[in-house]
Amino acid sequence: MHNLTDLIHRCQQGDLHAFATLYDQFQEELFDLAWVILRDREAAKDAVQETFLVVFQKIETFRGESAFTTWLTAILVNNCRQRLRRRKLRQLLPLDSLSAGKLAQSAHSPPNPAAVVARRMEAELLWQMVNQLDERLRAPILLRYRHGLNCDEIAKALGLSINTIYEQLSQGRKELERLRREHEAGHWRLAD
């Protein structure tokens, strides 16, 4: 892996080889996030391409005031949001993009096939419930729990205050808890 600071500096000086290296280093991670948001393979590819076009055009404006990955994520998320607004369609989280290993891991006991299946079903149900959230709650939940960003990084990526992110995460968790209770009572089903 290349030294990111050096790579960015070389990109800012117009080094196309450095830019290609930067693309290679981040394109898969960005594609994964774009696909989670857009749930359309071609749209996700296009979003990543457009994101790197913006990065190529604006790399000289990056001053290191936030992490480069946060800056890059913010560009991608904004690009995806514009795409969703243009489409005006609610998109679902692709459940098959979740890592089966992450869903099935148990640190305390050897894998029990029935337990693995039960955990996977619970996780799948949880992500179906995440899909039911309004976008303003869904995006912070995805960035926090699917992509592991901290609240400060999420705030920067979404262009919101950190207090707003805390509030949206809290509301999202409460809404998910409400949906879980409805499901347990037999009143919740996947919306069409």
* 154-164 exposure pattern, b = at least 16 Cβ within 10 A, e = fewer: bbbbbebeeeb
- Per the prediction, the chain carries an average pLDDT of 79
Q: What is the CA radius of gyration of the chain?
A: 19
Mean pLDDT of 153-166: 88
Distances (CA, A) of 87 to 49, 80, 84, 95: 18, 11, 5, 21
Which of 81, 169, 92, 87 minimizes the C-alpha distance to 131?
92
pLDDT band at 155 (very low <50, low <70, confident <90, very high): confident
The one-letter code for the residue type at 168 is Q
Residue 109 has pLDDT above 60, yes or no: no
- The pair of structure tokens assigned to 126 is 């949880």
- Condensed to tens digits (0 to 9), the pLDDT of residues 49-95 reads 999 999 999 999 998 888 899 899 989 988 988 887 776 533 333 43
**Secondary structure class of 73 (helix, strand, coil):** helix
Check if the beta carbon of residue 123 is closer than 8 Å to that of residue 103.
yes
CA–chain centroid gap for 130, Å, is 13
Q: By three-state DSSP, how is residue 134 classified?
A: coil
**Structural tokens at position 132:** 């039911």
Kindly state the percentage of the chain with pLDDT values over 90: 32
pLDDT for residue 191 = 52
Q: What is the C-alpha to C-alpha distance for residues 109 and 68, in angstroms, rounded to an integer?
A: 39
pLDDT of residue 100 exceeding 50, the answer is no
Assess contact for 2 and 24: CB atoms under 8 A.
Answer: no
Domains of the chain, each with CATH number or no CATH: 4-87 (1.10.1740.10), 96-184 (1.10.10.10)
Overall average pLDDT of the 177-181 stretch: 84
**Model pLDDT, residue 192:** 45
> What does pTM read for this prediction?
0.55
Q: Which of 80, 191, 83 is nearest to 143 (CA)?
A: 80
Q: Are 80 and 38 in contact (CB under 8 A)?
A: yes
Which pLDDT score is estimated for 101? 43
Residues 22-48 have pLDDT tens digits of 999 999 999 988 988 888 899 999 999
Amino acid letter at 50? Answer: E
